[in-house]
């Protein structure tokens, strides 16, 4: 009897767990958008005190912050899509880069966001296998590009920049610069690799078709790590 009840409990948990996690993520996103709306209302009340009753009424309308923030984001995209909007964006970037403290934060975030969300970028374009945290231990990583600046000048060619996500939260991880010869490119898509990481290897992608040729394991990886000299 207890074994059967346990099986029923696990079956019910498998039904409700994905739904619960989905609702939790959606509520988290709604909370972020609503907090942005609340901040705008507070600034609005500070600049225009006579309109405070109207702001209090808007604050108690459920879901209004999410809708308004989404409309503003879409409207901004439409505005920047034309020539005048692009000119205005360049002027705004020029203004933000002249403020002493703000320019370092703004420039860094802008470079990262342009790299991640640009259609022509290479960030997270491929799923890879790399040796981490030691030789002989493999984990999934994502290609983010190639080293640049002083790092590229000191290392030379033949290196890749990769991002190793943590499990089960892939939003945190480690940035590595690894030799190209020590990287195995996977045939699975980035979405399949993310599911594989988040599920801790439980949700495996479908097997690779025989027509897809995978690169062999690097010879250096097949060798056990040599013990350091005494």
* C-alpha–C-alpha distance, residues 206 and 197, integer Å: 15
Backbone φ and ψ of 205, nearest 5° = -70, 160
Q: What is the largest CA-CA distance in the chain?
A: 78
Give me the pLDDT at residue 210, please.
46
Where are the domains positioned within the chain? 2-99, 127-207
CA-to-CA separations, 11 to 17, 32, 126, in angstroms, rounded: 10, 33, 35
Strand ranges inside the chain, DSSP E:
127-131, 138-145, 159-165, 173-179, 184-185
pTM for the full model?
0.52
Is the pLDDT confidence value at 97 over 50? yes
The pLDDT tens digits of the residues spanning 205-227 come to 877 654 344 455 454 444 444 44
Q: Hey, what's the torsion of the CAs at 153, 156, 157, 158, to 10 degrees?
A: -130
Q: Where do we find the tokens 């920049």?
A: 161
* C-alpha–C-alpha distance, residues 122 and 116, integer Å: 8
């Amino acid at each position: 009897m207890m074994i059967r009840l346990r099986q029923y409990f696990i079956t019910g948990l498998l039904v409700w767990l994905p739904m619960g996690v989905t609702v939790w993520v959606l509520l988290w996103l709604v909370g972020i958008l609503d907090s942005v709306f609340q901040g705008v209302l507070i600034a609005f009340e500070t600049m225009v005190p006579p309109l405070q009753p109207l702001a209090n009424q808007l604050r108690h309308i459920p879901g209004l912050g999410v809708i308004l923030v989404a409309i503003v984001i879409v409207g901004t995209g439409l505005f920047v899509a034309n020539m005048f909007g692009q000119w205005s964006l360049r002027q705004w970037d020029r203004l933000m880069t002249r403020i002493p403290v703000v320019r370092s934060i703004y420039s860094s975030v802008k470079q990262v966001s342009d790299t991640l969300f640009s259609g022509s970028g290479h960030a997270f374009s491929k799923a890879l296998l790399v040796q981490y945290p030691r030789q002989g231990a493999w984990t999934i990583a994502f290609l983010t590009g190639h080293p640049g600046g002083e790092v590229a000048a000191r290392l030379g060619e033949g290196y890749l920049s990769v991002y190793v996500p943590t499990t089960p939260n892939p939003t945190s991880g480690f940035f590595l610069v690894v030799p190209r010869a020590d990287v195995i490119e996977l045939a699975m898509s980035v979405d399949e690799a993310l599911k594989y990481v988040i599920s801790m290897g439980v949700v495996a992608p479908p097997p690779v078709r025989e027509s897809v040729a995978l690169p062999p394991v690097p010879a250096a990886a097949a060798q056990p790590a040599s013990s350091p000299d005494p």
